[in-house]
Amino acid sequence: MGTSPESALKVGAVIITMGNRPDELRALLDSVAKQDGDPVEVVVVGNGSPVPDVPEGVRTIELPENLGIPGGRNVGIEAFGPSGRNVDILLFLDDDGLLAHHDTAELCRKAFEADPELGIISFRIADPDTGVTQRRHVPRLRASDPMRSSRVTTFLGGANAVRTQVFAEVGGLPDEFFYAHEETDLAWRALDAGWMIDYRSDMVLYHPTTAPSRHAVYHRMVARNRVWLARRNLPLPLVPVYLGVWMLLTLVRRPSRPALRAWFGGFREGWTTPCGPRRPMKWRTVWRLTRLGRPPVI
């Protein structure tokens, strides 16, 4: 679908940083500035840290404390007006990533214009040196072919585009999660509201290959937030099924004893601490997730 300058959807970008990767941040900002079509307006949020030098025209916000990934991104969303309404699309990009091609913003505009039900796009993440996409970066169970685009049920937090109307309808990311599973929480709420999510292999963010467990809090946060995710979003009969499946999967992966201790500590914390408002998805959303290849029990 072609667009005229008058009808082109407005695109913004939110980047959160801890201020410790100034060269990578500058390279990312340069890749955003080189996007075809109308310029992408950028907001960089310093999450409890000063923002390194950025090019002229890039807005910056420095938070006095680290609000976590969802909290920092929510501040960035609101910088574009309530629920980001001053733009039509928001890109969320990791500060050590790099847009591989100049047409990503234009591809986003065309995708959202062509499909009024499309709410979120998950980009393909590829290693800049090898071009390899890790299996865990393909947001579906059948992840053996990262070059296949498809409808999916979740998305990648640091490489995505969201129609801002989604935030207006279902709210932002869950601040209390701090790190891990905040994308799935938003994805489930969006799907429950009737929106769809696409994984697009032709929209590429270069990102160095890393392990999520590099974060010290990884095992605790993953377990706690998994419980919160279920408590907030699933119909009651599915909560024990979903969490039981994930407990079995965790044990099958044979984590180290300290990692397992941290995981069970987080699991317990997920049951004993407030998780935010509970809004269980409709059973027809459960069926939609199942049809899309990922029933909400795994």
Residues 22-47: what's their mean pLDDT? 98
Given a cut of 90, whether residue 149 has pLDDT beyond it is: yes
pLDDT band at 4, cuts 50/70/90?
very low
Residues 6 or more apart whose CB falls under 8 angstroms from that of 154 comprise: 122, 139, 183, 184, 187, 188, 197, 294
Residues 6 or more apart whose CB falls under 8 angstroms from that of 228 comprise: 174, 176, 177, 181, 185, 270, 275, 276
Reported as a single tens digit per residue, the pLDDT across 195-228 is 999 999 999 999 998 776 555 589 999 999 999 9
How many helices (H) and strands (E) in the chain? Answer: 9, 9
Question: What is the percentage of the chain residues whose pLDDT exceeds 90?
Answer: 93
Pairing of β 150-152 and β 196-206: antiparallel
Given a cut of 60, whether residue 2 has pLDDT beyond it is: no
Query: What is the predicted pLDDT for the residue at 7?
Result: 63
Residues 136-158: what's their mean pLDDT? 95
User: Which two tokens mark 158?
Assistant: 């640091």
33 to each of 8, 30, 55, 172, 267, how far by Cα in Å?
17, 5, 10, 26, 42
Q: Which amino acid is at 7?
A: S
Reported as a single tens digit per residue, the pLDDT across 55-113 is 999 999 999 999 999 999 999 999 999 999 999 999 999 999 999 999 999 999 999 99
Residue 293 falls in which region: left (phi positive, over 0), alpha (psi -120 to 50) or beta? left
17 to each of 53, 132, 161, 197, how far by Cα in Å?
12, 25, 18, 26
Given a cut of 70, whether residue 125 has pLDDT beyond it is: yes
